């Protein structure tokens, strides 16, 4: 299947700093990318959906000013956690889908964020 990468795989930062997470589709053009958050031993919660060249659509309860999403190209989307706090510590997973709405979502390996 298609390959989606995330970088970094693990990041530790101090409270108040910003952290950028990259999500790349390596062998296909990802028209749509999704960002999920997963708390320990829980399911994935969709945070936002981004389409290349458009503003992201955020799910209810997700602060758009805190979780900045940029989808500038068909192979790259970034999630920036601004002014991170310990409660932002989580596992962040992206997924990418091709042009057709019937295309499968392919998931990245995830990024473990720890805010001290």
Partner 1 sequence: AQSVTQLGSHVSVSEGALVLLRCNYSSSVPPYLFWYVQYPNQGLQLLLKYTTGATLVKGINGFEAEFKKSETSFHLTKPSAHMSDAAEYFCAVSEGPFSGGYNKLIFGAGTRLAVHP
Output phi, psi for 15, to 5 deg. -60, 135
- d(CA 106, CA 27) in angstroms, rounded, equals 11
Single out the segment in contact with partner 1 by CB under 8 A; choices: 12-20, 37-45, 64-72, 73-81.
37-45
Cα(74)–Cα(68) distance, integer angstroms = 18
Which CB sits closer to partner 1, 49 or 78?
Answer: 49
Stretch 46-75 residues interacting with partner 1 (CB under 8 A): 46, 49, 51, 57
Task: Tally Cβ neighbours within 10 Å of residue 93.
Answer: 21
Stretch that binds partner 1, among 12-20, 38-46, 62-70, 71-79 (CB under 8 A): 38-46
How many C-beta atoms surround the C-beta of residue 28 within 10 A?
18
Residues that bind partner 1 (CB under 8 A): 1, 4, 6, 32, 34, 42-46, 49, 51, 57, 91, 93, 95, 97, 100-102, 104-110, 112
């Amino acid at each position: 299947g298609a390959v989606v990468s995330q970088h970094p795989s693990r990041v530790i930062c101090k409270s108040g700093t910003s952290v950028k997470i990259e999500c790349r589709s390596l062998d296909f053009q990802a028209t749509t990318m999704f960002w999920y958050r997963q708390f320990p031993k829980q399911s994935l919660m969709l945070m936002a959906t981004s389409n290349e060249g458009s503003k992201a659509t955020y799910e209810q309860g997700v602060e758009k000013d805190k979780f900045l999403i940029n989808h500038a190209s068909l192979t790259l989307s970034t999630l920036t956690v601004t002014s991170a706090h310990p409660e932002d510590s989580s596992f962040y997973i992206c997924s990418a889908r091709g042009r057709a709405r019937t295309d499968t979502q392919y998931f990245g390996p995830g990024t473990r964020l720890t805010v001290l």
